[in-house]
Chains A and B, each alone.
Chain A
């Protein structure tokens, strides 16, 4: 099984909560998907469980978005493979707090 080095950019609130500076670099085994990246992220930083995905259902929270390679991939299947540039670490996977409010 191939292990990928995936870069993840978190929003400010979650960087504080996860006690991380800058990007998070994760070792992801097998296909690089939203699910495998977030599983690895939550394994490394368990305090992030429930903040990006709902507990139990693991559905993306309504006001969280996922960007990759200048595309919004939030509505893609969580098991769809992310772009090769993310899997190879050339581009980060962005977790975004949706812009909302006035």
Chain B
């Protein structure tokens, strides 16, 4: 392993940050697609030179960009996301039924073994797949056709499918999360789906342990233990050890269990990270101190990580797709803020430093560990 490439999506373009294994000196490249909202940038695990970008804007809609040379050049590929059949309705914020309408792609997840296959999680919530490098997209209609679909309703950010976890043991198994519907799993390559929300409790819905309706903010999984899932819910940090069949709370001694990101150390499947945010009314760090919390026990017991992070006057947020880990021998942790900072910890969270301080608001952070 020789270095890392950090892929950053922001409100006003994409940036590529590269460094060697020391992760001390960085080259900043960008903005790519200046002026556009870049919800997500992700490289293919099967070919690190293949990178997909979700580029969108209120004026000109959704575009998908693809690079075949590690982000040096880009080509716009297919951008038609058409729901299969009669789109039907879901609930709006006020409980009325509104037609399903495509707005944007929140998350792109390239397949583990094929750079031409990539999944897209979109708003209004649905899952699409391309098998031709993004040239064309087909909806995996079984998800939206799940019997509960008409009762789904948006979270504050929109009714988005924002997390896609691919099981490295079994290509037929995928887990996704939707705000504010919950988590869903397929074991047959997307033909059929089940809600997997047993054990979640959400005070913001009439039936607090309902089958669906939970505002899941993000999911994380270690590839060596695909049955163990970690969840940052609107409130509550949760864990499942049976592929999402049952969840239990692991918030433990966190100062607040509201937040957006959760991720897992590359080499220690029981070491996990969250960034607690004050509350759903106050999307800033508690006490104006930016702290990552780490648990080395798979939850419940958490320690604050503060060295190198601002510990006063800090009022940024860390959005759901804005944390990532590399797989260098000493695992690097990365996150981006709505204030435009991207932080790196080259030592598993013990110390932090800003890679860059003044980007547009960061929407997503991914990292590629380069051979």
Which residue of chain B is the closest to A50 with respect to CB atoms?
B79
B172 contacts which chain A residues (CB < 8 A)?
Answer: none
Whether, in the assembled complex, A75 has its beta carbon less than 8 Å from a beta carbon of chain B, the answer is: no
Interface string of A44-79 (1 = CB under 8 A from B): 000101111011100001011000000000000000
Whether, in the assembled complex, B258 has its beta carbon less than 8 Å from a beta carbon of chain A, the answer is: no
- Chain A contact residues: helix, strand, loop or mixed: loop
Which residue of chain B is the closest to A51 with respect to CB atoms?
B60
- Chain B contact residues: helix, strand, loop or mixed: loop
Known: A47-B76, A50-B62. A13 touches B82 (CB 8 A): no
**Which of B61, B79, B81 touches A61 (beta carbons < 8 Å)?**
B61
**Which of B60, B62, B81 touches A64 (beta carbons < 8 Å)?**
B60
**Which of A51, A55, A98 touches B63 (beta carbons < 8 Å)?**
A51
Whether, in the assembled complex, B59 has its beta carbon less than 8 Å from a beta carbon of chain A, the answer is: yes
A interface, size bucket: 10 to 19
Which residue of chain B is the closest to A12 with respect to CB atoms?
B35
Give the distance to chain B from A37, nearest Cβ to Cβ, in Å. Answer: 17
Whether, in the assembled complex, B36 has its beta carbon less than 8 Å from a beta carbon of chain A, the answer is: yes
A52 contacts which chain B residues (CB < 8 A)?
Answer: 60
Give the distance to chain B from A29, nearest Cβ to Cβ, in Å. Answer: 25
Give the distance to chain A from B77, nearest Cβ to Cβ, in Å. Answer: 9
Q: Are B80 and A13 in contact (CB under 8 A)?
A: no
Whether, in the assembled complex, A1 has its beta carbon less than 8 Å from a beta carbon of chain B, the answer is: no
Q: Are A61 and B60 in contact (CB under 8 A)?
A: yes
Whether, in the assembled complex, B58 has its beta carbon less than 8 Å from a beta carbon of chain A, the answer is: yes
A97 contacts which chain B residues (CB < 8 A)?
Answer: 59-60
In the complex, A93→B35 CA distance in Å?
24
The residues of B with any CB-CB pair to A shorter than 8 Å are 35-36, 57-63, 76, 79-82
The residues of A with any CB-CB pair to B shorter than 8 Å are 11, 13-14, 17, 47, 49-52, 54-56, 61, 63-64, 97-98, 100
> Given A49-B79, A98-B59, A100-B59, 9 more contacts at CB 8 Å?
A13-B36, A17-B60, A17-B63, A47-B63, A51-B61, A54-B61, A55-B79, A55-B82, A100-B58
